[in-house]
Amino acid sequence: MNKVININLAGRLIAIDETAYHQLESYLKRLKAFFLKEEGGDEILHDMEDRIGELFQDKLKKGSACIMTEDINEMIAIMGSPEQIENESGEIDKEDKNNSGPFQQPETTAKRTLYRSKKDKVIGGVCGGIAAYLKIDPVILRIAAIFIALAWGTGILLSILLWIIVPEKEEQYSELKRRLYRNPRQKVIGGVCSGIAAYVNIDPIIPRLVFVAPLLGVILFGALNNDFFLFPISVGSFPTMVLLYIILWASVPAANTVAEKLEMRGGKVDVQSLSQAIKSPGIHAAQPETGKSGFASVLSFLFKAFVFFVLGMVIIIIAGVLTGLVMALIGLAIPSAFMLPPYSQLITDSPVQTWGLLICAVLVLLIPFLMLIRLLIRTLSGRRYKKSNKWVMGIQSFLFIIGIFGLFWITSSILTDFRTAYPKRYEFPLQAPLNDTLIIKKELISSDDDIEDMWEDGDISDGYNGLFMNSDSGLSISNIRLDIIPSPDSSYHLILQKKARGRNQKVARERAEQIPFSFRKENNTLFLPGSFELPANAPFRGQKLRVKVQVPEGKVFRTEYAIHDQINSFYWRKGIVRHRTGYRAINNSRWSSSGYYYMTKDGPVALEKNIED
Amino acid sequence: MNFNYSETMNIENTSSQMRKGVLEYCILSVIKKAEVYPSDIISQMKAAGLYILEGTLYPLLTRLKNADLLSYRWVESVSGPPRKYFRLTEKGEVFYTELTQTWQQLTRAVDIITNETESDTPDA
């Protein structure tokens, strides 16, 4: 079932089937696009619409209920497609002009507007559009854009800006412009120079000289006079020129077909010019390699060898960069192991957050990598871009943005979970040891072999010094600080501070209270834990224990946690003995972990016995 | 020379080139006889056996008009919107006579040549 639409075609009322209407519309659009570039194009178009209307009216008078698609096809057969019309009615004097000068720029009287190109696009069609507007080759603009982008990054911004501002349009005059091709018929290395020469209509020797000049300059001034100002310029511009040549070689396609050769020279591509081109030997016939003298061919061979050498170097460099990139990705992947369970529980609060973080991280890392590879392949494969799949691109960009957004969101929500700190204080009385000597030992965990070091970071000041997995796959942290300070009275005390952070005081307090802590005292010995286990599925939010052992003045103590010196230095702070003000009373280097000390008003002091040891 | 002419120099292309040259002359001839509107030109040409794509007529008319060889006026029509009726300008008349001369010379020459070649050329 189809709708019938009534249209006004140049003053005639025409009933037309909906499908036929769309067909007519697209035909008229094509005609319009075609005649727009001609003086009086509107008038031609109006006259043709008038005639089409007349044809349709005849049809309707003969008894058709409405105009159908067959009628449209019949009409197009009568009127002709724009291309046919061009072939049949092309201005004769215009052809003469074309014949006399193949480099004639096609004139366009229609007002030109800047559009983004729909046909000629890599990313947004900005370069293609500007190229169409300026009637130059988009490849040149793209290379310029890459350089600007590399130099200051402003090129990217500008491109994005233009992408947003400039409307998209399928341009009509694109096939009339000259394009930059490599000329494989007249080549020394890649045909870049002769392609440029054809593009700007000069002798190929000129671009060749421009490219070779720095090399000649290096040799000449290097041999004659190093101080001459052209020498450093030559040295500097030589790699630039080589690089430029290689970029052009890689990005500019070779003109292989007759049509491409015509485009290269800026000729209009139609039936006449093609047949003309085939007749004229200049374009089609193999231009015989102008018989080179022996010296010239040796020179050309040496130059080729040199260029291939440079090319090889560049390929090695590119391979190196790619390897580096892969390494960097692997490097990024290793810390992201912490996004996997069981370590993920340290960072994230809930399984939702864990998986969210993981997915976002994968998106943010993977998508640019895929895009980069795609871009590389595209750039190196020349101009024959497949029409990029809008859906794929759209979804990729969307997922990337989602990933970035998710990362920021989750990170900020994790960070806010550190906002408030809550210290909870406990005080335990300690029985005085029998002979006035207190021994402080670290409680041993059942089996040392099960301890798996994750971070070894002994020097961090307020340190999250160690993290390791228990045998039952719980996570333990040795974030405990021990201070031995003078007691305000004549008895021993153990003061414990459990501290944790959270998004608010309540959460922080809950977390603080959940930190397990136990100590025991046997005879003279006080056993303290070396680490504490995080409650199952609790994230790490700055949980720490601070143990203060208050020793009365004049009493002697000894810290005997040196089961393994190495482990001690990691899990327990060396400067465990602190003055009340927090000032370190005993220099670390002189602290002996198994020495005897006695407490004074100003902090512990080593017994003579120690020093003798 | 090893080009394959048949690819591009086919019969259609050659005939279209031939037609193109005479098209303007035919249009001017029709218009010279009487003031006409575009559909008249088409039907007269059809009657004479010269089938053209109608779409080619309109750009040609406009170009000729822009070159001051033709002028037109609007005439009300019974069966639809007003029509453009074309006639030759003075400049167009001069142009037409010149074209006629050229055409006559050309046809004569072509006649002679084609007849000669037909009779003289042995089977090759």
For residue range A277-328, list pLDDT tens digits in order. Answer: 555 544 444 444 444 556 767 777 777 777 777 777 777 887 787 777 777 7
3-class SS of residue A183: coil
Q: In this structure, which amino acid lies at residue A130? A: I
Share of chain A above pLDDT 70, in %: 61
State which amino acid sits at residue A363.
L
- CB of A410 closer than 8 Å to CB of A360: yes
List CB contacts of A239: < 8 A, sequence separation 6 or more: none
Quick one: CA torsion of A37, A38, A40, A41, rounded to 10 degrees? -50
Q: How far is CA A310 from CA A240, A243, A248, A305, B36, in A?
A: 12, 9, 15, 9, 73
Lowest mean pLDDT among A131-145, A419-433, A518-532, B67-81: A131-145
* pLDDT of the residue at A117: 64
Please say whether the beta carbons of A202 and A217 come within 8 A. no
Tens of pLDDT, residue by residue over A374-408, are 776 666 555 455 555 677 778 888 888 888 788 77
Question: What's the CA gap between B95 and B91, in Å, rounded?
Answer: 6
Contact residues for B59 (Cβ-Cβ < 8 A; gap 6+): A35, A38, A44, A85, A89
Q: Give chain A's mean pLDDT.
A: 70
Residue that wins the pLDDT comparison between A237 and A79: A79
**How far is Cα A576 from Cα A588, in angstroms, rounded to an integer?**
9
- Range with lowest mean pLDDT among A76-90, A111-125, B53-67, B110-124: A111-125
Chain B residues within 8 A of A14 when measuring between CB atoms? none
Q: Do A88 and B8 touch (CB under 8 A)?
A: no
Give bridge partners of residue A597 from the DSSP assignment.
Answer: A557, A606
Residue carrying the six token digits 């619409």: A49
Tokens in use for A503? 């998004």
Residue partners of B50: CB distance under 8 A and separation at least 6: B19, B26
What pLDDT does residue B106 have?
87
Q: Of A485, A494, A483, which is closest to residue A521 (Cα–Cα)?
A: A494
Residue A477 has pLDDT above 50, yes or no: yes
Is the model's pLDDT at A455 over the cut of 70?
no
pLDDT band at A456 (very low <50, low <70, confident <90, very high): very low
pLDDT class of A99 with cuts at 50, 70, 90:
very low
> Rounded to an integer, what is the distance from CA A50 to the centroid of its chain?
55
Query: How far is Cα of residue A248 from the mean position of the Cα atoms in its chain?
Result: 24
How many contacts (CB atoms, under 8 Å) link A and B?
A: 84
pLDDT at A400: 81
CA dihedral A87, A88, A89, A93 (to 10 degrees): 70
Q: What is the pLDDT of residues A559-591, one digit of tens each?
A: 765 333 333 333 333 334 443 333 333 434 345
Q: Which among A165, A124, A119, A164 has a CA at the least distance from the CA of A142?
A: A124
Could you tell me how many residues make up chain A? 613
Residue A13 has pLDDT above 80, yes or no: yes
**Higher model confidence: residue A67 or residue B12?**
A67
User: Which residues from B are below 8 Å from A10, CB to CB?
Assistant: 81
Q: Do A47 and B61 touch (CB under 8 A)?
A: yes
The pLDDT, as a whole number, for residue A594 is 62
Best of A275, A276, A280 to mutate (most B CBs within 10 Å, chain B): A275
A102-123 mean pLDDT: 52
Partner-chain contact A57 B80, CB within 8 Å: yes
SS (H, E, C) A324-378: HHHHHHHHHHCHHHHHCCCCHHHHCCCHHHHHHHHHHHHHHHHHHHHHHHHHHHH
* Mean pLDDT of the B11-22 span: 74
Helix (H) or strand (E) holding B120: helix B90-120
Residue A160 has pLDDT above 50, yes or no: yes
- Say if residues A63 and A10 touch (Cβ distance below 8 Å): no
Residue A525 · residue A441 · CB < 8 Å: yes
| B34 pLDDT higher than 70 | yes
* Mean pLDDT (whole number) for A520-543: 80
Q: Please say if the pLDDT value at position A5 is more than 60.
A: yes
The pLDDT value given to residue A503? 85
- Preferred mutation among B5, B7, B8 to probe A, highest tally of A CBs within 10 A: B8
What is the structure's pLDDT at A327? 74
Tell me if A273 sits within 8 A of A87, measured CB to CB. Answer: no
CB contact under 8 A, A40 and B56: no
Lowest mean pLDDT across A61-70, A366-375, A415-424 = A366-375
Element (H, E) at A219: helix A205-224
Nearest C-alpha in A relative to B65: A40
Amino acid at A314: V
Which residues of chain B are within 8 Å of residue A78 when distances are taken between CB atoms? 53-54
Cβ contact A67:A56 at 8 Å: yes
Q: Is the peptide bond before A232 cis (omega within 30 degrees of 0)?
A: no
- SS3 category, A497: strand
- Residue A177 structure tokens: 């412009």
Tell me the H-state helices in A62-189.
69-79, 82-89, 92-100, 126-134, 138-152, 154-165
The band of A8, judged by pLDDT with boundaries at 50, 70 and 90, is: confident
Q: Does B56 touch chain A (CB under 8 A)?
A: yes
Residue B124 tokens, joined: 């090759």
Q: Across-strand partners of A442?
A: A528
Q: How far is the C-alpha of A186 from the C-alpha of A205, rounded, in Å?
A: 11
- The pLDDT value recorded for residue A578 is 40
- Residue A485 CB: number of other CB atoms within 10 A? 21
Q: Residue B38: its chain A contacts at CB < 8 A?
A: 47, 50-51
Split at pLDDT 50, 70, 90, the class of B9 is low
Instruction: Report CA-CA distances (Å) from B13 to A84, A275, A520, B9.
Output: 11, 10, 107, 6
Kindly indicate the confidence band of residue A268, based on its pLDDT and cuts at 50, 70 and 90: low
- Which among A71, A72, A82 is positioned nearest to A35, based on CA atoms? A82
Nearest to A11 among B3, B61, B80 (CB): B80
Q: Do A85 and B13 touch (CB under 8 A)?
A: no
Q: What residues contact B19, with CB distance under 8 A and at least 6 apart?
A: A88, B50, B52
Residue A592 pLDDT class (50, 70, 90 cuts):
low
Q: How far is B96 from chain A (nearest CA, A)?
A: 16
Instruction: Please tell me which of the candidates A11, A91, A278 has its beta carbon nearest to residue B63.
Output: A91
- pLDDT of A505 higher than 80: yes
For helices A126-134 and A138-152, what crossing angle results, to 10°? 130
